[in-house]
Structure 1
């Protein structure tokens, strides 16, 4: 008679334990990556509008809507708000840790563009170049 082939219960439990440990490490890292990616995508969307903003100002038009600088709101990542000196991205569909986050580009006539985030987007999630 042939011997039985397969895995023992202990071997299966060890595999399940290893998978559980890997998941416990990977899931928080992936969530952090998703949040950083969403914040970076929001910054990329509003950064693309800087040219339209500058064009409007050079034409003596004070930008007041996303459409006035060549954008649409909402986009895939942002709900845009435009004023005479700022472009604000309120993140849409972001992970819970930054769900109410905003990214603001502010134009100063002497220093140029600066980027800032609200307190919800902590240092772990801020896009590079934003303070």
Structure 2
């Protein structure tokens, strides 16, 4: 009698089912990870501009994107800079996953409270730490 080699159809179907279950769990988790990473990267880019913003502000100059040597768009953000005593740095997320594709992160500055972070159109699952 010949020895059987290979897998049966049932064994292959079980392996495919297990892979499908793992994929159904992993894909949403990975999408959430991508969204959080993009929001955090946008916040980091905006926070990097605060030092130069403060330097210009303390020197009596109204900060602008040109004075901060920032292009209007980066890999993670499209920036809007507003100078003055209550200035702000706004990052509109670009190339973001669909869940946060219209998200914005805004760093607002006041003389009394310093810098505060607010986010719009970003769900709580994707919100970077330190932002509300």
**If the length of structure 1 is used for normalisation, what is the TM-score?**
0.95
Give me the CA root mean square deviation.
1.0
Q: Deviations over 1:4-52 (max 9, x none)?
A: 2100000000000000000000000000000000000000000000001
**1:34 maps onto 2:34 in alignment:** yes
How many angstroms does 1:71 deviate by? 2.1
- Give 5+ residue unaligned stretches, structure 1: none
> Which 4+ stretches in 1 moved above 6 angstroms?
none
**1:76 maps onto 2:75 in alignment:** yes
Alpha-carbon distance in 1 for matches of 2:68, 2:105: 17
SS of the equivalent of 2:33 reads helix
**If the length of structure 2 is used for normalisation, what is the TM-score?**
0.94
Q: What residue number does 1:103 align with?
A: 105
How many angstroms does 1:69 deviate by? 1.7
SS of the equivalent of 1:35 reads helix
Query: How many correspondences in the alignment?
Result: 129
Alpha-carbon distance in 1 for matches of 2:35, 2:41: 10
- Give 5+ residue unaligned stretches, structure 2: none
Alpha-carbon distance in 1 for matches of 2:55, 2:64: 13
